[in-house]
Structure 1
Amino acid sequence: MATVHEWTGLEALALRKALRLSVRAYSEHLGVAVNTISNWEKHRATRRPNTESQAILDTALAQADATTHVRFETELAKLGEGGDPAASVARVTIPRPRAWEYESWSEDIERTVVALSHQNFAFATDLLHRWTSRYSTSDLDERGLYLLARAAALQGDLKRDQGAVVGPLSAQRSYAGARSLYTQLQIPRRVAQLDLSLAVVTEMAGDLEPAARQYEDLAGDERLAARDRARARLWVGTALSKDGHHDYAARVMESAIREFEDLSEQEDWSVAQQKLALAHRGAGNLDAALRLIDVARSTGVTESPMQRVRLDTAYGHILLSDPATLDDGLHVLDDAAKRAAQYGLTHQLRSITDIRRTADGASSPTRR
């Protein structure tokens, strides 16, 4: 965003035009007398507002949205054409990238979020690379660093969904980079969200006990929103269940489900039903597991290939636990594996392979 080092009537006029306000409305907006504004605009570059007015104008510009900043820069250029453009440039720093480039970057980040929700990894990669390859941190002001941090976090999501969990070009590395930037920008909520993402990576890498401890800490972390704290609590249960503590995991998950109900978070509630179903499967409560997975399948989001694969994998896993439905379970897992391969969901594909291998090992004596 543009930064004014010293305001004159010229910059004050450019800001009024950018805000699209009349002189009277501008005076009300700033809390400055109409005559004062008229004097600024009459004398333009030769009139410097007093110290208090300088601060008021700083605040007005800082609070303006990105579109207003674009108009402010444009108005300054127009007004400079009638006088000495260099005089205005000396008082105003317009960073690179320009405001409209930041707008394009923001739009591409939102498009990346949509692409990732549909597991369109190639498109998401192109959108992110378009910007992360263009600028280094030294080129960017705070807004640019914020966008770079968001891009790094989304890069972590992309790598996580593709199954690249740890290593030089992994989700862990991208999340750590994003966390460092948010720490630099002093945005604690985002730092905590990255801590949560790093805990997920720890769990996916198979380090279940440390992951459970990290989730437990974050479940009570006031930096996080209530929804993220409830997710952390749910994932405590997930890690416990994977580590074989199914009954305890189920109790923790039920607590998270109640939180999602209180928050009216339907999607998270459905995902929690799926995870609770697997905990009951691990405890040998197959009737409860089947009932819960039916709830998850009927209420969950199925437009996302990732969630469809997760639901089918959980359903197939439960069916495999009963010899009477073993063949049905294998069929469901085969379909899930095909969809996972189609969308490049490597981690999910490995999970399906591990489940099938375990089932084959358990059933081989019977089949002989």
Structure 2
Amino acid sequence: MVNVQEWTGLEASALRAALRMSMRAFAEHLGVALRTVAKWEDLGETTQPRPDTQAILDTALARADALALARFERLVFGGSQADGRTADHETWTEDIDRVIVCLSRQNFTFAASLLNRWLSSHSSRTFDPKGLYLYGRSMALLGDLQRDQGVILGPLSARQSYATARGLFVELDIPRRVAQIELSLAVVNEMAGQLDHSARQYEQLATDERLSRRDRARARLWVGTALSKEGNNEHATIVMATATREFEELGEPEDWSVAHQKLALAHRGAGDLTRALHYIDIARQSGTIDSPMQRVRLDTAHGHILLSDPATRNDGLSVLDQAAQVAQRYGLSHQLRSIEGIRKGQRG
């Protein structure tokens, strides 16, 4: 039921609780009457919102942040367990929330310890559906951790963790989660240099209704990234500009900032350094999340652009040095390899 096919008052009430809103605030958030929200609370699964309100709830769910989504899924999946597994599930869910925060700050050591606490002591074959779901979420987050550290190939890699998580979500019949994992696998393929394959995956996912509009826009942006890496920079800028407009319409400032960073690199590849510097300046000034990963990505892109002009080459090397120091400090090995690749390209 995580991928809500038909909303009832039960799911609507769960969404309100997951967003941590009062009934009045939730009614204002959706643009519906307070008595409508009160009806959902009172009648639960015995009442169904009207079709137009179903669409409003779909949008509200798609716009919810990761922690709110986790709470919503926990509430929808929740149930009493006579053997004490409910408390176990609650603790596990809290640890998953902590892992999400740790990964946003690149605190990989603590994130890994929280995940291993569950993954190393349990077998997915022993779980009820909710435990299986939590195991799948943990495997997906382990994949995120491995991806951010640059561990993308081999038996203990992001690709393997994502594949395991995908299999579990297929078994649980949660199409949205399956599609999100497929998007993550496409990113891994791009990082591994499989540009044609990843571009095809992105193109398919950019119109995949299993994904939220935001995730579809991300897939479209990454189509542009793959095109740019293949040297098709003019087409890449057109695709990226479309995704950028979608992020603006959706009110997603961080994605909008990332899109400008990628646009800057595509214009650099096309030889238009003036536009490249313009877009990277927008990206550096507009980002709302100050994480080590994002700082390294922005500085790497900025340094790469500066290196492309002999007049600013020394400035570019200095910016790349700063990015490398931060990447080294936080164990961002994929970013370190990217920086070294840029330096070698300049020396070549």
TM-score under structure 1 length normalisation: 0.73
Distance, in Å, in 1 between the alignment partners of 2:272 and 2:135 is 47
Aligned to 1:101: 88
Aligned to 1:90: none
User: Do the aligned residues in 2 keep the contact of 1:66 with 1:99 (CA within 8 Å)?
Assistant: no
Distance, in Å, in 1 between the alignment partners of 2:230 and 2:77 is 51
Aligned to 2:291: 304
Structure 2 counterpart of 1:277, one-letter code? A
Question: CA offsets, 1:3-47, max 9 Å, x none?
Answer: xxxxxxxxxxxxxxxxxxxxxxxxx8799xxxxxxxxxxxxxxxx
* Consecutive unaligned residues in structure 2, runs of 5 or more: 1-41, 46-72
Aligned to 1:227: 214
Question: CA offsets, 1:306-355, max 9 Å, x none?
Answer: 00000000000000000000000000000000000000000000000000
Q: Does residue 111 in structure 1 map to residue 95 in structure 2?
A: no
Displaced runs of 4+ in structure 1, greater than 4 A? 28-31, 63-70
Distance, in Å, in 2 between the alignment partners of 1:99 and 1:257 is 42
Distance, in Å, in 2 between the alignment partners of 1:333 and 1:177 is 36
Counterparts of 1:1-368 in structure 2, within 5 Å, are 65=75, 69=79, 94-95=82-83, 98-361=85-348
Question: CA offsets, 1:158-207, max 9 Å, x none?
Answer: 00000001111000000000000000000011000000000000000001
User: Do the aligned residues in 1 keep the contact of 2:253 with 2:288 (CA within 8 Å)?
Assistant: no
Structure 2 counterpart of 1:149, one-letter code? G
CA, structure 1 residues 262+179, in 2 after alignment: closer, same or farther (shift >3 Å)?
Answer: same
CA, structure 1 residues 292+174, in 2 after alignment: closer, same or farther (shift >3 Å)?
Answer: same
Cα distance, 1:301 vs structure 2: 3.6
Structure 1 counterpart of 2:159, one-letter code? Q
CA, structure 1 residues 283+66, in 2 after alignment: closer, same or farther (shift >3 Å)?
Answer: closer
Structure 2 counterpart of 1:254, one-letter code? A
CA, structure 1 residues 162+68, in 2 after alignment: closer, same or farther (shift >3 Å)?
Answer: closer
User: Do the aligned residues in 2 keep the contact of 1:146 with 1:181 (CA within 8 Å)?
Assistant: yes
CA, structure 1 residues 252+209, in 2 after alignment: closer, same or farther (shift >3 Å)?
Answer: same
Cα distance, 1:262 vs structure 2: 1.0
Question: CA offsets, 1:259-291, max 9 Å, x none?
Answer: 111111110000000000000000000000000
C-alpha RMSD of matched pairs (Å): 2.0
Distance, in Å, in 2 between the alignment partners of 1:65 and 1:228 is 23
Structure 2 counterpart of 1:261, one-letter code? E
User: Do the aligned residues in 2 keep the contact of 1:66 with 1:103 (CA within 8 Å)?
Assistant: no
Cα distance, 1:302 vs structure 2: 4.8
Cα distance, 1:98 vs structure 2: 1.3
CA, structure 1 residues 68+285, in 2 after alignment: closer, same or farther (shift >3 Å)?
Answer: closer
SS at match of 1:244: coil
Question: CA offsets, 1:35-64, max 9 Å, x none?
Answer: xxxxxxxxxxxxxxxxxxxxxxxxxxxx99
Aligned residues: 280
Cα distance, 1:134 vs structure 2: 1.7
Cα distance, 1:360 vs structure 2: 1.6
SS at match of 1:294: helix
Cα distance, 1:138 vs structure 2: 2.3
Question: CA offsets, 1:83-121, max 9 Å, x none?
Answer: xxxxxxxxxxx35x6101100000000000000000000
Cα distance, 1:139 vs structure 2: 1.7
User: Do the aligned residues in 2 keep the contact of 1:302 with 1:308 (CA within 8 Å)?
Assistant: no
Distance, in Å, in 2 between the alignment partners of 1:254 and 1:64 is 36
CA, structure 1 residues 304+258, in 2 after alignment: closer, same or farther (shift >3 Å)?
Answer: same
Distance, in Å, in 2 between the alignment partners of 1:167 and 1:132 is 18
* Consecutive unaligned residues in structure 1, runs of 5 or more: 1-27, 32-62, 74-93, 362-368
CA, structure 1 residues 68+186, in 2 after alignment: closer, same or farther (shift >3 Å)?
Answer: closer
Cα distance, 1:303 vs structure 2: 1.9
CA, structure 1 residues 323+191, in 2 after alignment: closer, same or farther (shift >3 Å)?
Answer: same
Distance, in Å, in 2 between the alignment partners of 1:67 and 1:231 is 27
CA, structure 1 residues 196+243, in 2 after alignment: closer, same or farther (shift >3 Å)?
Answer: same
CA, structure 1 residues 272+67, in 2 after alignment: closer, same or farther (shift >3 Å)?
Answer: closer
